[in-house]
Structure 1
Amino acid sequence: MEEYDIAIIGGGPAGIMAAIAAGKNSSSVILLEKNSSLGRKLLLTGGGRCNITNNKPLKKLLNIYPQKNFLKHSFFTFTNEDLFSLFDFDFIEEEDNRIFPETEKSIDVLEGLINCLDDVVISYNFEATSISDDFVINNRIKANKIIIATGGITYPQTGCSIKNYSLTSQPLTDIKYGLTPLITKKDLSSIAGVTLYDVVIIYKKTKVKGNALFSHVGLTGPGIINLSNEISKSLSYNLLESNPEVDLEIAIDLCPKFSREDLQDKFSKDFQAKGKTMIKNYLKQFLTNSFIDFFLDEINLDGQTQLSRINKKSKNRLIENLKRFTFEITGFNKDLAKITIGGIDLANVNPKTMESTIMPGLYFAGEALDLDGPTGGYNLKIAFSTGYLAGLSASEK
């Protein structure tokens, strides 16, 4: 039986970073990866460009996360500057403080991380199926410490699996889909590819500003997938037991820069001054051109109608739908879910070390934990910082 100081299960971003940190202080570290290569999910991030982190100031960054108090120590222990120092190339900052490698290739980030694993043994095609009380994995590998970095349930082709949650007896929260496109009841294939820019998407009392993109089966885009986290959390389900039943309504404020009163005043003036203008042409100042015909069909208004011929009832209907255009949602597009919501219950993990408070010597990192953030580099930030802290803590004790 092979023996190591530290065994890390999972060769994704969190596992690789844990191995890098552990390898600095421990004489023997092994990284166990289910696939024939490391970092498969990392290669998918940012559309293959790798949105490696978010560069907001640290205190402002923490306020983005629902679990900011738990993340505080790991974020201060391993900062973005620490992350950038691992690479021999520069990074570029884009809208909303998103950070990408200057090469815009996720493979370069992965290779840069792998180059930091010189003193780490890597065992490929190793699927951990059992961990004994004395830290023996699959009756083959014995370790003094074990770090679980097996990820969530999304993108099973990358090695993620619901079976990973049964590796330990650590308490779990409900497991749910996160950052996922939404499936609509109405067929939207006629406007697939159309984007609504800087709209406000509303679910109950939650409002998210961002772009919404129409697909053949529903809605996606940054604004939609960020809202999906709140929708998923509001539903009572656990993927360890069953799939969610989704039957709800969301609304999109298509004109967030205008209040209803602003539109009422503007329409009153414009409908008189520009009475011969057709409504489909008039709406170009508010809506994406390729969306106008669909919008007018949905509210039963002929696009050829001149402004002067639109009665008060139709005008009010127009304003109401510009401010609250609704869609019935019937499901999550689970095949495209980017993250998992839920996981190892944070109540039983020490945020200053990532060590289990139930089983000393057992550590957790990344998406395996009940941690989540919006799209934009926030979730990779979790993976890298918690991974580094877990590896550092395990190797120092």
Structure 2
Amino acid sequence: MEEYEIAVIGGGPAGIMAAIAASQNSSSVILLEKNFSLGRKLLITGGGRCNITNSKPINTLLNSYSHKNFLKHSFYSFTNEDLLSLFDLEFITEEDNRVFPKSGKSSDILKGLTDKIEDVSISYNFEVTSITNDFVINDKLKADKIIIATGGITYPQTGCDIKNYSLTSHPLTEIKYGLVPLITKNDLSEIAGVTLYDVVISYKKSRVKGNVLFSHVGLTGPAVINLSNEISEGISYNLLENEPEINLEVAIDLCPELTRENLMAKFNKDFQSKGKTMIKNYMKLFLTNSFIEYFLNECKIDGETQLSRINKKSKNRLVENLKRFVFEITGFNDKLAKVTIGGVDIKNVNPKTMESKLIPNLYFAGEVLDLHGPTGGYNLKIAFSTGYLAGLSASEK
């Protein structure tokens, strides 16, 4: 039976980084990957461009996470500067502090990472199905320490699988979809591809400002994706046991810079002074052109109607829909969920080492933990920093 000091299970961002860090102090590290290659999920992040991290200062960045106290040590142990210095690449920072390789290729990030694990043994097509109490894996190899970085349940084609949670032998929080597009009751094919810019989408007391994109089956785009976490966490379900049942409403404020009173005052003035203007042309002041016809149809107003012919009831309906355009949500587009909400309960993990508090020499990193953040490089930041800390801690112990 082969024996290693450290075995890393999972060849995603967290697992690769754990192997890199572990190999700094140990010459006996093996990385176990169930696929025929590493980093399959990494290759599709950021639309294939790899939004590798978010460039906000650490103290500001941490405020974006619900478990910021747990993440603090790992973020300071492995900073953005540490991460980017690993690569012989140029990086660019785009809107909302999102960092990408200048080449726009996630494959360059993966190559930069795999170049750093030349001293690590890699076993491909190795699906871990059992780990004994004395750290024998699949009755084939034994390790002194194990790092579990098997990811969550998102993008199963990349190797993520709900069965992976059975390897942890640790208490789990509820497993849910995160950063996931929403499916609407109504077919949105006629406006598929249309983007609403800088609107505010809300669910109950949660409000997110940003862009909303319409797909054939529902809503997506950064604002929707971030709001989906609030929606998912507010619904009672656990993917280890059942799928979510969804019947709720979200509302979009199409004119967040104007109050209802401001809008009505403008309407009253303009409907008199521009009375011969057709409403479909007037709405260009507030809406993107390709959305106007759909919006007016939903408001039950003929786009050819002149402003002077719109009655008070219709005017009120326009104002109400501009401030609260409602969509009925019937499901999550789970095949496109970007992260997993829930995982190994961090109460049982030491945040300064990523070592289990229940089983000595067992470590966790990345999405398998109950850690997640908004879209924009926040979740890869978790993967890289917790992976590095887990690998370094295992190799130094």
Give the TM-score category using the shorter length.
over 0.9
2:82 maps to a residue whose letter is D
Match of 1:59 in 2: 59
| Structure-2 separation of matches of 1:188 and 1:254 | 17
Match of 2:16 in 1: 16
| Structure-2 separation of matches of 1:393 and 1:94 | 33
Match of 2:44 in 1: 44
Moved more, 305-314 or 342-351: 305-314
| Residue 127 of structure 2 corresponds to residue 162 of structure 1 | no
Q: How does 1:152-231 map to 2 (within 5 A)?
A: 152-231=152-231
1:240 maps to a residue whose letter is L
Question: How many residues are aligned here?
Answer: 397
Q: How does 1:5-154 map to 2 (within 5 A)?
A: 5-154=5-154
Q: CA RMSD in A?
A: 0.7
Write out per-residue CA displacement over residues 335-382 of structure 1, whole angstroms, 9 at most, x where no aligned residue.
Answer: 111111100001111111111101111100000000111111110000
Match of 1:291 in 2: 291
Q: Deviating runs (4+, > 3 A) in structure 1?
A: none
What's the % identity of the aligned pairs? 77
1:333 maps to a residue whose letter is N
SS of equivalent residue, structure 2 residue 261: helix
Q: Any gaps of 5 or more consecutive residues in structure 2?
A: none
Match of 1:339 in 2: 339
| Structure-2 separation of matches of 1:197 and 1:85 | 35
2:208 maps to a residue whose letter is V
| Structure-2 separation of matches of 1:358 and 1:134 | 14
| Structure-1 separation of matches of 2:60 and 2:324 | 31
Match of 2:371 in 1: 371
The answer as to whether partners of 2:278 and 2:304 remain within 8 angstroms in 1 is yes
Q: Any gaps of 5 or more consecutive residues in structure 1?
A: none
| Structure-2 separation of matches of 1:299 and 1:187 | 17
| Structure-1 separation of matches of 2:169 and 2:45 | 31
Match of 2:391 in 1: 391
SS of equivalent residue, structure 1 residue 38: coil
| Residue 363 of structure 2 corresponds to residue 360 of structure 1 | no
1:310 maps to a residue whose letter is I
Q: How does 1:261-272 map to 2 (within 5 A)?
A: 261-272=261-272
SS of equivalent residue, structure 2 residue 165: helix
Deviation at 1:27, TM superposition (A): 2.2
Write out per-residue CA displacement over residues 173-204 of structure 1, whole angstroms, 9 at most, x where no aligned residue.
Answer: 00001111110001110111111111100000
| Structure-1 separation of matches of 2:285 and 2:234 | 35
Deviation at 1:299, TM superposition (A): 1.0
Write out per-residue CA displacement over residues 103-146 of structure 1, whole angstroms, 9 at most, x where no aligned residue.
Answer: 11000100000000021111111000011001111111111110
| Structure-2 separation of matches of 1:219 and 1:27 | 49
Q: How does 1:242-261 map to 2 (within 5 A)?
A: 242-261=242-261
1:318 maps to a residue whose letter is L
Write out per-residue CA displacement over residues 186-244 of structure 1, whole angstroms, 9 at most, x where no aligned residue.
Answer: 11101111111111000000000111111111111111111111100000000000110
| Structure-1 separation of matches of 2:316 and 2:141 | 70
| Structure-2 separation of matches of 1:280 and 1:103 | 42
TM-score normalised per structure 1: 0.99
Deviation at 1:67, TM superposition (A): 1.0
The answer as to whether partners of 2:168 and 2:344 remain within 8 angstroms in 1 is no
| Structure-2 separation of matches of 1:365 and 1:75 | 13
SS of equivalent residue, structure 2 residue 152: coil
SS of equivalent residue, structure 1 residue 328: strand
| Structure-2 separation of matches of 1:90 and 1:276 | 55
| Structure-2 separation of matches of 1:95 and 1:194 | 20
Deviation at 1:168, TM superposition (A): 2.4
